[in-house]
Amino acid sequence: MYLQRRNRTLRRNESIRSLVRETILTPNDFMAPVFIGEGKGEKHEIPSMPGYYRYSLDLMIKEVKELYSVGVKAINPYVKASDNLKDNTGKESWNPNGLMQTSIRAIKDAVPEMIIMSDVALDPYSIYGHDGIIENGDIVNDATIEALTKMSLSHAEAGVDFVAPSDMMDGRVAAFRKAFEENGYSHVGIMTYAAKYASCFYGPFRDALDSAPVDSQNIPKNKKTYQMDPANRTEAIKETLDDIAEGADIVMVKPAMAYLDILREVRNAVNVPVSAYQVSGEYAMIKAAAQNGWLDEKVTMMESLTCIKRAGADIISTYFAKEAAMLLNG
């Protein structure tokens, strides 16, 4: 055959492929979600997330040091609040001596260079497992914003670099920005879960924190009145632009793998850094298939992360952060 163009020329061997590769992962791309529980010397594997653990603070500090030493520069901490601290106001969420606030201080003290982006939402503290306050079976927006603003200020006071509101209430970014400016925390940034979908892929995470919506009369069993409909695309752009207009520094798309089209559209529509969250269910699927010998874990992990970056993520929050960073470091 005479072919004017032979596309396979650029794929002939690994040296050529590496010369023309468009997307290169580095440990600097990753953020690690971390789960913190009460106690001392405690390490619990999350049943639906094989190889992933909830640590008490003393062990978490070791884990954070390890993450930093392999090149991971940011964490997203989540805490598991005990049942007796849960109510419908979420008031434990702004307790200056709560587990989150204590953890932020201790981690910043031990590894000051590690960037902390703390989750802001009421679900770990809600007896109903919802991200906001419930009145007459509805998750009420404005009262929730008041609670979340107190929560954000308490995280700022404890020393976070960014707060990461994952609640999807309206107007929270503007409220936090104003509160930070007025209270001496102008240096604290906001990474919003801007396009966060009502996704079944969060199941394992809710196991980790015991934070699933409760099954009770008059309480919605899902988060569809605040998280987005997976069927929608233009709404993701609107949500994201609104958050930026309110003062968000970084915007997130969540989940990642089933939402790469959204990620690309958001990346094209905005001029701030974009992050993507490879969520618990995505991790669980890869782990489960690998445990069955159906997929090669390392190859699948790296392919999924590369594709998330290719789709437009500047930062990837992933439960594979440590494993992937170690693999990249060789």
Question: For residue 18, how many other CB atoms are within 10 A of its CB?
Answer: 9
Q: How far is the CB of 325 from ligand PBG (least distance, A)?
A: 18
Total residues contacting ligand PBG by CB under 6 A comes to 12
Residues 9-48 that bind ligand PBG (CB under 6 A): none
DSSP 10: G
Q: How far is the CB of 189 from ligand PBG (least distance, A)?
A: 18
Instruction: Mark residues 139-178: x for contact with ligand PBG by CB under 6 A, - for none.
Output: ---------------------------xx-----------
Q: 239: annotated binding-site residue?
A: yes
Q: Which residue has the tokens 């609040």?
A: 81
Catalytic residue among 86, 223, 254, 287: 254
User: Rule CB under 6 A: is residue 316 a binding residue for ligand PBG?
Assistant: no
Q: Is 35 helix (H, G, I), strand (E, B) or coil?
A: strand
DSSP 9: G
Cβ nearer to ligand PBG, comparing 68 with 78: 78
Catalytic residue among 86, 108, 196, 322: 196
User: Rule CB under 6 A: is residue 125 a binding residue for ligand PBG?
Assistant: no
User: Rule CB under 6 A: is residue 246 a binding residue for ligand PBG?
Assistant: no
Instruction: Mark residues 50-89: x for contact with ligand PBG by CB under 6 A, - for none.
Output: ----------------------------------------
DSSP letter for each residue of 62-128: HHHHHHHHTT--EEEEEE---GGG-BSS-GGGG-TTSHHHHHHHHHHHH-TTSEEEEEE-SGGGBTT
User: Rule CB under 6 A: is residue 119 a binding residue for ligand PBG?
Assistant: yes
User: Rule CB under 6 A: is residue 304 a binding residue for ligand PBG?
Assistant: no
Q: How far is the CB of 7 from ligand PBG (least distance, A)?
A: 38
Rounded-to-integer distance, Cα 180 and Cα 152, Å? 9
The angle that helices 297-310 and 280-291 make with each other, rounded to 10 degrees, is 150
Rounded-to-integer distance, Cα 213 and Cα 123, Å? 8
**Residues contacting 282, CB < 8 A, separation 6+:** 201, 255, 256, 257, 304
Annotated binding site for Mg(2+): 239
Annotated binding site: 239
* Residue numbers annotated as active site: 196, 254
Contacting residues toward ligand PBG, per CB under 6 A: 119, 121, 123, 131, 166-167, 202, 205-206, 223, 279-280
